Amino acid sequence: MQDAAILNRNFLLQAREAAKKPEGGLTTGLSPTMLKRIGDMTNAEIEQFSQLLPITMFTLRVDPAALDRILETSKTKPAAAASYLVSALAR
């Protein structure tokens, strides 16, 4: 459970920073409303919330086929793989 809490804390801290940037929703996958709420959280609230769940509160945002395509493309065309990943996340 402690590993999940560490991951959750780091995610929330990064989301809070991302909330200050226009691309915050894309980089975190969070809705504008949730991003705003996390952006307003104190360190104490982040610590408290990160400890509540025994699982991570984030998920991979690409399907297995996209993941395979990105990994395969990255072997020969890293820039193309990065572009594909961004386009897959923006959907």
Tokens of 56: 């991570």
Same domain, 7 and 34: yes
Same domain, 6 and 44: yes
Mean pLDDT value of segment 76-91: 78
Q: What is the structure's pLDDT at 91?
A: 64
Q: Which of 37-41, 66-70, 79-83 has the highest mean pLDDT?
A: 37-41
Q: Is residue 28 part of a domain?
A: yes
DSSP-derived 3-state class of residue 12: helix
Q: Is residue 55 part of a domain?
A: no
Which residue range(s) make up the domain with 78?
Answer: 61-91
Q: What is the structure's pLDDT at 47?
A: 95
Looking at the structure of the chain, the number of domains it has is 2
Predicted TM-score (pTM) of this structure? 0.77
Same domain, 17 and 46: yes
Tokens of 13: 């801290």
Q: Say whether pLDDT at 1 is over 70.
A: no
Which band of pLDDT confidence, cut at 50, 70 and 90, is reported for residue 59?
confident
Same domain, 19 and 42: yes
Q: Residue 75 and residue 47: Cα distance in Å, rounded? A: 38
Same domain, 13 and 44: yes
Which band of pLDDT confidence, cut at 50, 70 and 90, is reported for residue 27?
confident
